[in-house]
């Protein structure tokens, strides 16, 4: 079964850091681009970051640029999001999502992990 499972969310103080992980199974992870998407409580979906299959190309939303770092370990079938200098407005459920082109574009999503930034 094709599956993505996020972990690493939790409660963190403003200015703090957190590292999210996304474990992939059931498909050849190294062949797919990956994304992080977030959803603030009661709000819509917001794309956060993209990484190519090799890790050589990376994009960020302006709202997280300079604070968040996306990475992947194809040997471990894992995607990561290092989040630094966290703000209250980063509070959201964070989803990893597979693909970015054609039939594979954002086709599979994880269940999400909640990040709460609060003192």
Partner 1 sequence: DIQMTQSPSSLSASVGDRVTITCRASQGIRNDLGWYQQKPGKAPKRLIYAASSLQSGVPSRFSGSGSGTEFTLTISSLQPEDFATYYCLQHNSYPPTFGQGTKLEIK
* Burial tier of 110 (Cβ tally within 10 Å: 0-12, 13-18, 19+): buried
- DSSP reduced 3-state for 20: strand
Please choose, out of 9-17, 21-29, 74-82, 99-107, the segment that lies near partner 1 by the rule CB under 8 A.
99-107
DSSP state of 55: S
Measured from the CB atom, the residue of 89 and 107 that comes closer to partner 1 is: 107
Letters for 43-72 (x = contact with partner 1 by CB under 8 A, - = none) are: -xxxx--x--------x-x-----------
In 3D space, the residue among 96, 13, 7, 119 whose CA is nearest the CA of residue 47 turns out to be 96
Measured from the CB atom, the residue of 56 and 101 that comes closer to partner 1 is: 101
Measured from the CB atom, the residue of 15 and 26 that comes closer to partner 1 is: 26
């Amino acid at each position: 079964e094709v599956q993505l499972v996020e972990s690493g969310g939790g409660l963190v103080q403003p200015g703090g850091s957190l590292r999210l992980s996304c474990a992939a199974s059931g498909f050849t992870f190294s062949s797919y681009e990956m994304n992080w998407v977030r959803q603030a409580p009661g709000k819509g979906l917001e794309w956060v970051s993209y990484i190519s299959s090799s890790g050589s190309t990376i994009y960020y939303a302006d709202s997280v640029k300079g604070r968040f770092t996306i990475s992947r370990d194809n040997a471990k079938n894992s995607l990561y999001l290092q989040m630094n200098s966290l703000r209250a407005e980063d509070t959201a459920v964070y989803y990893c999502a597979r693909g970015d082109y054609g039939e594979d574009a954002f086709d599979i999503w994880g269940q999400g992990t909640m990040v709460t930034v609060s003192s």
